[in-house]
Structure 1
């Protein structure tokens, strides 16, 4: 294994297409509530719109040699971005400042899990998010059924906030 971490500009997000689509299939396989919602979720409907609506984007791809095996996508966005036709992800009045940070997508192929790679990607994401002095609130949205991810983020200091869409998504925040 020759593991490399590469921060890429959002214009090069196409290299995450396959991994993002795998993430959606993985989330659907874990889901116990409203699996059908994942049918329309993919790189084009999730990552691209998120990149376009964010103020700042951060993508780190992890490769084994030249082969991408995982990624983390984080962003800084106006808090109003998280109240849309799909859902209202958190009580906007609970966020004092205009912008929020979000670890938006995180995926690592199964054979690379539990080796420290995920922790390194998480730390790279948090380091980037915390450089924005005007952001106090950080969110992570975990799809239902993904208890491993939920516990991972809790071990990293995030706490349960609430559920949305009748339990389809668990919202975690930094405080």
Structure 2
């Protein structure tokens, strides 16, 4: 008999390990859910703030134990939710529809859009998205750079953002990434020892920036934004920015690799990352649906 109910506080470790086990396999992989159990547990406890996991994550049990997990990360301000899963054990996929129906009942009325980010090899979730009339919004290529390749990087002098260049980065960022999750001013306000902006200066002239964030307690780092003015492109500045960022990331001993997502159609960006030393590890699909 299948028992489906909301996840409880004392089940975080079990659920995090369950997600980790399935998310390491491409056939059950979901793009933004992570593979490290500690990181997954932290995300469940700390990142799900608008609707907590106790009210947004369902688990399914049978006589053999935990067989399925499905939940969502709600963004009430933007009226959308990212779907975590469904994560279902092999041979138990028939229970995914029950989990999905129960999860929909948990969605607050403010949510009008859903997003799913399965691996291209996760055929069961791809089929589920199609059956539920999700729209295939974009394909994403996931690339990774491992610490073991650090010696292959060009050694670039790190130029941290200085106050005199604040107007330059604000203008370039807001032009390059309009209406994104951080404005240029917000990036500057976020800067600390684990959030940095590095820039390239050409004869004192601002030639580009990269904004990066490290989470050394979880061995994680992310390249959030980088841009080069049109007049400075084709001069290798993007490579310098990426090399500088990677060299900084690996000053944290706990960070072993940097992983990022790029639109699969953006061949120039993928080529740039590969030129620096990133390797392609996954192909994902991003689906959205209005509800």
Shift of 1:111: 1.4
Partner of 1:62: 60
Partner of 2:285: 170
Count of residue pairs the alignment pairs up: 145
Partner of 1:158: 134
Q: What TM-score do you get using the length of structure 2 for normalisation? A: 0.44
Instruction: Encode CA deviations 1:93-112: one digit per residue, 9 max, x unaligned.
Output: xxxx5242121232111111
Determine the C-alpha separation between the residues in 2 that align with 1:170 and 1:11: 33
Secondary structure at the counterpart of residue 60 of structure 1? strand
Q: Which structure has more helix as a fraction of its residues?
A: 1
Shift of 1:11: 5.8
2:138, 2:263 within 8 Å by CA — same for their partners in 1? no
1:81-120 pair list within 5 angstroms = 98-113=78-93, 115=94, 117-120=95-98
Matched, 1:123 2:101: yes
2:7, 2:59 within 8 Å by CA — same for their partners in 1? yes
In structure 2, the CA distance between the partners of 1:47 and 1:172, relative to structure 1 (3 Å rule), is: farther
Determine the C-alpha separation between the residues in 2 that align with 1:105 and 1:51: 17
Determine the C-alpha separation between the residues in 2 that align with 1:146 and 1:157: 17
Task: Give every structure 1 segment of 4 or more consecutive aligned residues whose post-TM-superposition deviation is greater than 3 Å.
Answer: 9-12
> RMSD in angstroms over aligned alpha carbons?
2.6
2:133, 2:289 within 8 Å by CA — same for their partners in 1? yes
Partner of 2:74: 76
Q: What TM-score do you get using the length of structure 1 for normalisation? A: 0.70
| Rg (Cα) greater in structure | 2
- Unmatched 5+ stretches in structure 2: 141-261, 265-282
Instruction: Encode CA deviations 1:46-69: one digit per residue, 9 max, x unaligned.
Output: 453254222113111111126111
Instruction: Encode CA deviations 1:9-30: one digit per residue, 9 max, x unaligned.
Output: 3563222133112211222x67
Determine the C-alpha separation between the residues in 2 that align with 1:44 and 1:149: 25
